[in-house]
Amino acid sequence: MMTFWLVWIGFGLSFIGSLPFGMLNLTVADLGMRKGMRPALLFAAGAALLEYGQSLIAIRFAQWFIAGSTLRTYIDWAAVIIFFSLGLYFLLSKSQPVKANQEPPQADHHYFMKGVGMAVFNVIVYPYWVFYSTFLINQGWMSTSWADSLAFSAGITLGAWALFYGYARFSVWLIGRSEHFAKYATRFFALMVFTLGAIQLYHNLWG
């Protein structure tokens, strides 16, 4: 019975944890504005699917990640590089939404694989899920069995997908109502990601 509830616990933690601006949900919103709902959801599917594997790794090797303080340092610095790189990507992207007849459409697998590829660099998920899985195990709400690990990871994947869907739907809704915002959307996304990078840099140096 507890295994069933772990799906919903994973869903809630993943949905809430993905609510703040991050590189994946901002990219979903950017794709929704510039390409439309389908490319955004394909990207989201790839990113959410990879997070299943990432969260499962974090859960199964939680104690190893906790013991590896040096590894955590590498992850924190990698996050800084990734945030600033993504900020440059948004800054150099076309700020105007792209019309269907302005460029050849990309195959579906292009957006799906882009989601997988960007999720690979979302290294912050490892310490995040190490913390929560360790907490649940210590509280006796989750065992170290494969069944509980798989159920928790499934909930995490569903929560990430639901949040990405919300970002995509909102961005498509917004673009039809605010051309002014759509024009400067990628600059706004760039500012948000640069801010996240600056916060992470401050944490690494003085946190």
Report the pLDDT value the prediction gives residue 61, as an integer from 0 to 100.
81
The vertex-108 CA angle with 15 and 125, nearest 5°, equals 30
Residue span of the structural domain in which 117 resides: 2-206
- Total number of domains constituting the chain: 1
Interatomic CA distance for residues 179 and 187, integer angstroms:
14
Task: Write out residues in the chain with pLDDT < 70, as ranges.
Answer: 1, 63-72, 75, 93-106, 176-186, 207
pLDDT tens digits along 90-146: 777 655 544 443 445 567 789 999 999 999 988 888 878 888 888 888 778 888 889
pTM of the model: 0.76
Beta carbons within 10 angstroms of residue 102's beta carbon: 9
State the pLDDT at residue 158. Answer: 96
Q: State residue 203's pLDDT score.
A: 83
| Cα–Cα distance for residue pair 27/86, rounded to 1 Å | 9
- State the CB neighbour count (10 A cutoff) for residue 23: 26
Q: Residue 101's pLDDT is what?
A: 38
Where do we find the tokens 């590089």?
A: 81
